Amino acid sequence: MEKKTIRDIKVSDKRVLVRVDFNVPMNKLTGKITDDSRIRGAIPTIQYLIDQGAKAILCSHLGRPKGQVEALRLAPVGERLSQLLGRPVKCTPDCIGTEVERAVSQMKSGDVLLLENLRFYPEEEKNDPEFARSLACLADVFVNDAFGTAHRAHASTVGVADYLPAVAGFLMEKELEFLGKAMADPARPFAMLVGGAKVGDKIGLLENILEKVNSLIIGGGMAHTFLKAQGYDVGSSSVEDDQLGFARGLIEKAARRGVHLLLPTDVVVAREFSAGSIHKTVSLSGVPRGWMILDIGPQSIKSFGDELKGCKTIIWNGTMGVFEFAPFRKGTTAIANLLASLDATKIIGGGSTVEAIAELGLADRMTHVSTGGGASLEFLEGKTLPGVAALLDC
């Protein structure tokens, strides 16, 4: 999917509306940003516009407000962005209307303006044409640099493209380049490592990826359903009984296609779902009645690792265990450290996996860490993302 980018249009002295993803996590008590990686991710596009003498008008959502919520105003984001850019960033008290139009009219080349939270208006998520037109009238050009919202057909991701020439920013371009190449023409062997809680959330991903990979490795909570489908007693572990048939079918399809499908061979079990619970490592045939699986065991780590060592392209979506509990993060930690050491294309997607990689300090040792949780998942499912489809073709 070849799309025009910010390099393909003239932006000098133009008013450029940029959809960024500044939906950053914030401390509810202090109102402070706890992770500014999404802001940092937009810096290359913003800096390019500044250097080209454009007037950069940034828009984003923050959280899920119902109406105007003081705690979800974008002022703290503007303050952090100003620090990162080393120049003032003016924040408007609204995202549309005469006051915003006045602020835009006063901009000079190289200025940066941050509009207020788009989701203060329900029309944003409804892709209301009038709301989209009100945003579009602020600018001459539209740049979408928010891959994390590209799977949503909202006014600021799709609607404005009906009124303005629309191109990709550098972050959007990077996401499409890495994910697109991995799915269309990966260096082989190609492996997908899938974890997380539920099979039901990733049926589309599993079905689509099975057509493309050489190896499929399944861990995390979703592995319980596959293990039960194979006849193992998984104790009180979470299982999607309505997906047992799907799991059996996927295992059979992998065998027919010659895809090497790996599941855990040993697991870490606990009496209860808590960080302080009694826990131990057991074989698949030794899960005690009433205990639950919360991580993969050392044999599984080794077998997964041995498979990954021979691969040239690896996509990882979903943790191997309950990473938020220290005793059950060993599987995820071991796999992350292994990937960091490999000479391969390593793409990390999915919110929980990205957070784990960041917490372990390994993000800069991965080839690409996706900024779009839901968007990257839908892309890997083979779906068309509305926010990408709305951009101009090359």
Residue 218, H or E segment: strand 215-218
Active-site choice (38, 55, 202, 330): 38
Of residues 194, 190, 180, the one with CA closest to residue 259 = 190
* Torsion angle, alpha carbons of 60, 65, 66, 70, to 10: -100
Three-state DSSP state, 38: helix
Active-site choice (53, 180, 374, 382): 374
Q: Measured between alpha carbons, how far is 189 from 314 in angstroms, rounded to an integer?
A: 9
CB atoms within 10 A of CB 229: 21
Q: What is the DSSP string of 244-267?
A: HHHHHHHHHHHHHHT-EEE--SEE
Q: Which residues contact 316 (CB under 8 A, 6 or more apart)?
A: 192, 193, 195, 335, 339, 346, 347, 348, 349, 350, 353
Q: Does 152 qualify as catalytic in the annotation?
A: no
Q: Does 63 qualify as catalytic in the annotation?
A: no
Strand partners, 178: none
Strand partners, 59: 19
Q: Does 198 qualify as catalytic in the annotation?
A: yes
Give the single-character DSSP code of 66. S
Write phi, then psi, for 349 (nearest 5 degrees): -135, 160
Active-site choice (126, 133, 198, 248): 198
CB 345 within 8 A of CB 187: yes
Which tokens in the block code for residue 250? 């996927």
Reported residue count of the chain is 394
Q: Does 3 qualify as catalytic in the annotation?
A: no
Q: What angle do CA 383, 349, 273 make, to 5 degrees?
A: 115
Residue with tokens 């209860």: 272
For the annotated catalytic residues, the residue numbers are: 38, 198, 351, 374
